[in-house]
Chain A
Amino acid sequence: MVTYIVRRLITAAFILLGASFVVYILTAISGDPLGELRALNTPNRDQLIEARINLLDLNTPAPIRYFKWLGGAAQCLVPFAGNCDLGRNVTGQPVTEALGLALVQTLSLVTAATVLAILIGVALGIVTALRQYSTLDYGVTFMAFLFFSLPIFWIAVLLKEYGAIGFNDFLRNPDIPWYIAAGIGIAAGLVLAVAAGGDLKRRLTVGAVGFGFVAALLLVASVTRWFTTPGLGIVVILLAGVGLAFAITVLVSGLQNKKALYSGLTAVGIGIVLYFPIQGLLNVATPLMIFILAVVAVLVGVGVGWLWGGYDRGQGMRVGAITAFLVGGLIVLDRFMQAWPSYFNNGKIRGRPIATIGASTPNLEGDYWVSTLDSFTHLILPTVALILISLASYTRFTRSSMLEVMNMDYIRTARAKGATERSVVMRHAFRNALIPIATVVAFDIGALIGGAVITERVFSVQGMGTLFFDGLDHVDPNPVMGVFLCTAVTALVFNLVADLAYSALDPRVRVK
Chain B
Amino acid sequence: MEKQMENGSDRVVLKVEKLRIHYATPQGDVIAVSDISFNLYEGETLGLVGESGCGKSTTAYGILQLVQPPGYIVNGSIEVDGTEVLNLSEEELRKFRWTGLSLIPQGAMNSLNPTMRVKDQIIDVIESHEGEKQSKEQLRDRIYGLFQNVGLPNRIYDMYPHELSGGMKQRVCIAMGVALNPTVVIADEATSALDVVVQRIVAQTLVKVKDEIGVSLIVIGHDMGLLAQIVDRIAVMYAGKMVEIAPVENIYAEPLHPYTRLLIDSIPSIKERKPLKITEGITHDPRNPPSGCIFRLRCPFAWEHCAEVEPAPIDADYKHEVACHLYDERFEERRANAFATFANP
A, B co-complexed:
no
A-contacting residues of B (Cβ < 8 Å)? none
B-contacting residues of A (Cβ < 8 Å)? none
